[in-house]
Amino acid sequence: MPLKTNTTDAGGNGGMPPSRFHVQPMPGADFGGMVEVAGIADARAAIAAAEAEPDTLPEALNEARGLLLLRGMRAISEDPELLVRLSRLFGSEVEDYNQTLVAKNNVHQDVPEIFMVSNVPPAYKKPPARPNPPLTEDGKLPTRFPHRRGWHTDQSYRRPPPDISLFYAKKASPEGQGQTLFANGILAYNALSPDLKARVDGLIGIHASSTIGRTEYAVRAGEPPKDIQPHEAPQRQPVVRPHPVTGEKALYMCEAGQMDWVDGPFVGLEPGPDGEGGKLLYELMRHYTRPEFVYVHEWKDDDLVIWDNRSLVHAATWYDAENIQRVMWRTTVRGNPGPEYAGEKRSWIPV
Ligand SMILES: [Fe+2]
């Protein structure tokens, strides 16, 4: 499914006025789209235009295989509810973080659909550590697993898992720090060898929150798994996930910090970090994060990046939190996880 460029009829609305939205391929990547809005400079007006043709941006996201960038969305900073309005175009429900056991200091005080990822009080979230060594042999930012760690898809330890995340840079880190890395699971799946395709077909991953003592790090350190409540339990997810709209298959998995390394990472394969399952996960993640499947986003203030958690993984990078203030706002959209999850109760809500 090649990305349409200059999609003046992105809404497919024959006889209707042409779309205001134009999508260009993302520079430096084999997936993703940069959205421009014709004749509109202000983000508030752009969001109103998106609401007037509500299928355009979700369709553009699918055509771009799960990644869109909109720059200059400053109006969101002044009116955070605009981010929620835009989010609603991508699914039937925007998560209310006050309802879902998220620490209150990470939730926006006026708009509970906004999760704050920031080192600034009251959020106080630290960036990840730098990789070891901090740069590749040729002096570049490490992106490939296992040199680069932290690859995950949001909230995969929940069933049903969410669909889309929107991430807005209210105050971005400077270039060269605090990037977000994206790897495309559709491209990665399509490029699997026939042998690996056969191995992952029908395979089930066991995903776990990093907070319950089942990460690779916790297991290697010999930490006993924590006693957990049923709503915290690890969740099983297919490793190959067909996209519910396009049907394109994507690899769906995380690595050290968001799989269950006690009973998993895969059902039916020898468990633990050094087991057959762990070895397969390392092989798959090395493949998933090959340079041709990866896009590095260098943030500018007022960038908005939208990604599809059903078909991409992402990773955060280090920034100098002692000297830099970084403020990012995220919303999470759910509602179309695919037929496999039809009618399921939410695993993360205490009974
Ligand atoms: Fe994330």
Paired strand residues for 237: 205
**86 Cα–ligand 1 center, Å:** 19
pLDDT one-digit tens code per residue, 216-246:
999 999 998 899 999 999 999 999 999 999 9
pLDDT one-digit tens code per residue, 314-339:
999 999 999 999 999 999 999 999 99
Average pLDDT rounded to a whole number, residues 157-176? 97
At 211, list the tokens.
């907070």
Q: Grade residue 41 by pLDDT with cuts at 50, 70 and 90.
A: confident
For the chain, the three-class secondary structure string (H helix, E strand, C coil) is CCCCCCCCCCCCCCCCCCCCEEEEECCCCCCCEEEEECCCCCHHHHHHHHHHCCCHHHHHHHHCCCEEEECCCCHHHHCCHHHHHHHHCCCCEECCHHHCCCCHHHECCCCCCCEEEECCCCCCCCCCCCCCCCCCCCCCCCCCCCCCCCCECCCCCCCCCCCEEEEEEEECCCCCCCCEEEEEHHHHHHCCCHHHHHHHCCCEEEECCHHHCCCHHHHHCCCCCCCCCHHHCCEEEECEEECCCCCCEEECCCCCCCECCCCCCECCCCCCCCCHHHHHHHHHHHHHCCHHHEEEECCCCCCEEEEECCCEEEEECCCCCCCCCCEEEEEEEECCCCHHHCCCCCCCCCC
Tell me the C-alpha distance between 126 and 321, whole Å.
7
Q: Tell me what pLDDT residue 24 has.
A: 97
**315 Cα–ligand 1 center, Å:** 7
**48 Cα–ligand 1 center, Å:** 27
**256 Cα–ligand 1 center, Å:** 14
Find all residues with CB under 8 Å of 110, minimum gap 6, and list them: 80
**155 Cα–ligand 1 center, Å:** 8
Q: Tell me what pLDDT residue 252 has.
A: 98
Tokens 């939190």 correspond to what residue?
321
**97 Cα–ligand 1 center, Å:** 15
**Going by CATH, does the domain composed of 21-341 fall within 1.10.150.530?**
no
Q: Grade residue 15 by pLDDT with cuts at 50, 70 and 90.
A: low
**39 Cα–ligand 1 center, Å:** 33
* pLDDT for 50 beyond 50: yes
Q: CA 315, 94, 211: angle at the middle one, nearest 5?
A: 45
**20 Cα–ligand 1 center, Å:** 30
**331 Cα–ligand 1 center, Å:** 11
**152 Cα–ligand 1 center, Å:** 6
**117 Cα–ligand 1 center, Å:** 10
**19 Cα–ligand 1 center, Å:** 31
**167 Cα–ligand 1 center, Å:** 9
Domain boundaries, the chain: 21-341
pLDDT one-digit tens code per residue, 92-141:
999 999 887 788 899 999 999 999 999 998 888 899 999 999 999 999 99
Average pLDDT rounded to a whole number, residues 191-207? 97
**196 Cα–ligand 1 center, Å:** 26
pLDDT one-digit tens code per residue, 293-312:
999 999 999 999 999 999 99
Q: What is the mean pLDDT of the chain?
A: 94
pTM: 0.94
**269 Cα–ligand 1 center, Å:** 27
**202 Cα–ligand 1 center, Å:** 25
**15 Cα–ligand 1 center, Å:** 40
